[in-house]
Amino acid sequence: MKRAVFPGSFDPLTLGHTDIIDRALPLFDEIIIAIGTNSTKKYMFSLEQRKEFIKKTYADVSKIKIDTYKGLTIDYCKKNDIDFILRGLRNPADFEFEKAIAQTNRKMSKIETVFLLTSADTSYISSSIVRDILKNKGDVSLLVPKAVII
């Protein structure tokens, strides 16, 4: 069984995230959307809200599982018998950053990272941009799944 983890804070889930997840579904038997938690990080949405956004967005997709974790993603993968990490790339800066992490993860374990390029129509979307728009009471309906619109 080919299982992948798609790790992130998902604060909030965006159409950029769903673009990667939706396009990865044919590649894997199961995708675990794993919400990483960091006690030193300030989130806009609670862990329960972030889980609910994902749960509602993928309610009808049996291949999607949702989980939370702390610590290194490779430790989560080893503990849960996952061989692949799924990551999305929006631009060259993302590639350089993610390449270094992927190479380190492969050196520390045998876990492979699979990169998918975001679609051109979602490549500009980031959670930080969405949070900034929300803080300023702007409309994010073109940037996030319906489940996130509050």
Residues 6+ apart with CB under 8 A from 148: 12, 13, 14, 53, 57, 140
Q: What is the pLDDT of residue 145?
A: 97
97-127: per-residue pLDDT in tens?
999 999 999 999 989 999 999 999 999 999 9
Q: What is the pLDDT of residue 100?
A: 94
Q: What is the pLDDT of residue 23?
A: 97
Q: Which of 41, 107, 135, 137 is catalytic?
A: 41
Question: Measured between alpha carbons, how far is 109 from 86 in angstroms, rounded to an integer?
Answer: 15
Q: What is the DSSP string of 63-74?
A: TEEEEEE-S-HH
The pTM score is 0.94
Q: Is 62 a catalytic residue?
A: no
The domain defined by 3-148 folds into: Rossmann fold (3.40.50)
Q: Is 17 a catalytic residue?
A: yes
Q: Is 127 a catalytic residue?
A: yes
Q: Is 90 a catalytic residue?
A: yes
Q: What is the pLDDT of residue 39?
A: 76
Question: Measured between alpha carbons, how far is 3 from 126 in angstroms, rounded to an integer?
Answer: 25
The distance in angstroms from the start CA to the end CA of the chain is 37
Q: What is the pLDDT of residue 94?
A: 85
Q: Which of 3, 65, 90, 106 is catalytic?
A: 90
Q: What is the pLDDT of residue 56?
A: 97
Q: Which residues of the chain have pLDDT under 50?
A: none
Sorted by where each begins, the domain ranges of the chain are: 3-148
